[in-house]
Amino acid sequence: MALSQKLQEIIESQKDVVKKVAELITEGIEELKQKATEEKKTFEEVVEEIVKAVMDVQKTNLKKEEKRMAMPLLGDKFPELSVQTTHGPLSLPEDLVGKWTVLFSHPADFTPVCTTEFVSFQKHKSEFDKLNTRLIGLSIDQVFSHIKWVEWIKEKLDVEIEFPIIAATDTIASQIGMIHPNKGTNTVRAVFIIDPDAVIRTILYYPQEIGRNIPEIIRAVKALQKSDAEKVATPANWPENELLGDKVIIPPATDCETAKKRPQEYQCYDWWFCYKESK
């Protein structure tokens, strides 16, 4: 086998690269000496070029893999995924555009805490609908398990789950940050709030042993929509803040002239802490 072909196999395998390169150089030493003579280089220069070429390719491949497996962050577009759900296939983020989305993962079907969460999400679904917000569940259970679990919830608890549930693979769940190795191989209780442009606006994580507070997720959606519509911020516990009630906060001034005007334009504790009635 030609030296170049062997090198290519090493690059593609990405396994024990350094060891394999060393073995290849040892096995092909005569070929490398001939190559050095033909190219009028020292043997060391030829070996150095080979090692550098292999390492450069390895670094490039590692960067590509890191980028592919990187967890999405706030402000990122939701990753491109093709998934199967209990309502049929979805192409993400394409199918998310135009509405707000709450995409949430659960550790496993047929588990008590997850069941209470799904019942609660369904019972609050009308509130999400009013906010132009779709619900999508996810775990690494197969779609057949999702279907049977939904049937069980309907039969035993008289609640019909009307939103889709994604049957994710380990790779998909890892790619979007829903598997945390120190918490096992199941998906943790992750929540992504995604805006109509398919941009991730909020990420929440809960451990497997603690069920989520669905009203808080609704509150977060409302606060994001309020912030976008009025270009304001919302205080803690909004709309029931201890200082401001349901009022909203004006973004702090960024120049001296604006800072001087703020107390005349709004209610303020100081120029950097001004607020107004919400529309």
Alpha carbon 65 to its chain centroid, in Å, reads 16
- b/e string for 118-144 if b means 16 or more Cβ within 10 A? bbbbbeebeebeeeebbbbbbbbbebe
Strands 248-250, 133-139: pairing kind: unpaired
Strands 133-139, 100-105: pairing kind: parallel
d(CA 138, CA 161): 13
Catalytic residue among 114, 256, 268, 274: 114
Q: Quick check: 78 and 155 in contact, CB under 8 A?
A: no
d(CA 120, CA 114): 10
Token representation of residue 53: 């070429």
Q: Which amino acid is at 114?
A: C
Whether 256 is a known active-site residue: answer: no
Instruction: From 216, 78, 197, select the one nearest 138 (Cα to Cα).
Output: 78
Alpha carbon 189 to its chain centroid, in Å, reads 12
Task: Please enumerate in sequence order all residues whose Cβ is within 8 A of that of 131, keeping only pairs 6 or more positions apart, or say none.
Answer: 100, 218, 221, 222, 225
Residues labelled catalytic: 114
